[in-house]
Amino acid sequence: MPLRLISCGLSDRGRKRSRNEDAWLAADALGLYVVADGVGGAPAGDIASRRATDAIAEHIVKNPGAEESAMALLQAAVRIANTTLFHEAILQPALAGMCTTAAALLVRGEHCFIAHVGDSRIYRFRNGALTQLTIDHTLAQDRFDRGLIGREQLRVCGYGHVLTKTVGLEPEITATSADFHALDGDRYLLCTDGLTTMLQDEVIQDLLKAGGDCLSVCDRLVAEANRAGGHDNVTVVLVEMMGN
């Protein structure tokens, strides 16, 4: 039986940045949720994140699809977002090099499909426990996967912000994807690294444990990230799965 979806999103410039280069989408009617973080230091990060988010949503709207094809649909949406950014940058030299991360969740029935590129993350909060569902596309993560650094070095090695994959910089990409069975009461958190570089997973879990509606939880997460330093834009989207 399909689950009822309730969501909220919130984005903040943070305490150090002069502009917000994040974008987000929460569309319960589509079962689609996206966060994107324009890559800092690259041209037009704010344009890249918004273009990517819009392109993903447009593809889902035009091709609603069935549950059996949801994963292929979401992967195609991210590929189209990449192509859109890459070609637009060619046509407009001022946008050359623009790129973004993207993390997307598509809900069909009782199944969740995710696709991501970069270091924006998706978590599941179930029965009081937080589980990271995505693996960052960063140089630090790559070195960890190859056994060159330990887990304790992932946050402090200096390579955590060096992305190994983005949306828009290369002519073709393949998003990392997975699917999960959703349960009544699950909450899915999509966020940019402005949250996860400021707050460790244990802190995020405790903030979710405190309860409240989606908006109050989003407020709490953003406020705590800023209180911890707010070194980057911070964007969160929280999706709650409820039985009918």
Least confident of 156-170, 187-201, 227-241: 156-170
Q: pLDDT tens for residues 104-158?
A: 999 998 999 999 999 999 999 999 999 999 999 998 888 877 878 877 777 766 6
| pTM (global) more than 0.85 | yes
Q: pLDDT tens for residues 193-236?
A: 999 999 999 999 999 999 899 999 999 999 999 999 999 999 99
The pair of structure tokens assigned to 184 is 């009544």
CATH (residue range 4-242): 3.60.40.10
Predicted pLDDT of residue 20: 94
Query: Beta strand pairing status for 4-12 and 129-132?
Result: unpaired
Provide DSSP, 51-102.
HHHHHHHHHHHH----GGGHHHHHHHHHHHHHHHHHHHHHH-GGGTT--B-E
Q: At what angle do helices 70-91 and 45-62 cross, to 10 degrees?
A: 140
Contact 13, 20 (CB under 8 A): yes
Predicted pLDDT of residue 147: 78
Greater model confidence, 85 or 155 = 85
Q: pLDDT tens for residues 29-38?
A: 999 999 999 9
Closest CA to 77 of 104, 48, 110, 108: 104
Predicted pLDDT of residue 150: 73
Q: pLDDT tens for residues 47-82?
A: 999 999 999 999 999 987 666 689 999 999 999 999
Predicted pLDDT of residue 244: 66
Listed by start position, the domains of the chain span 4-242
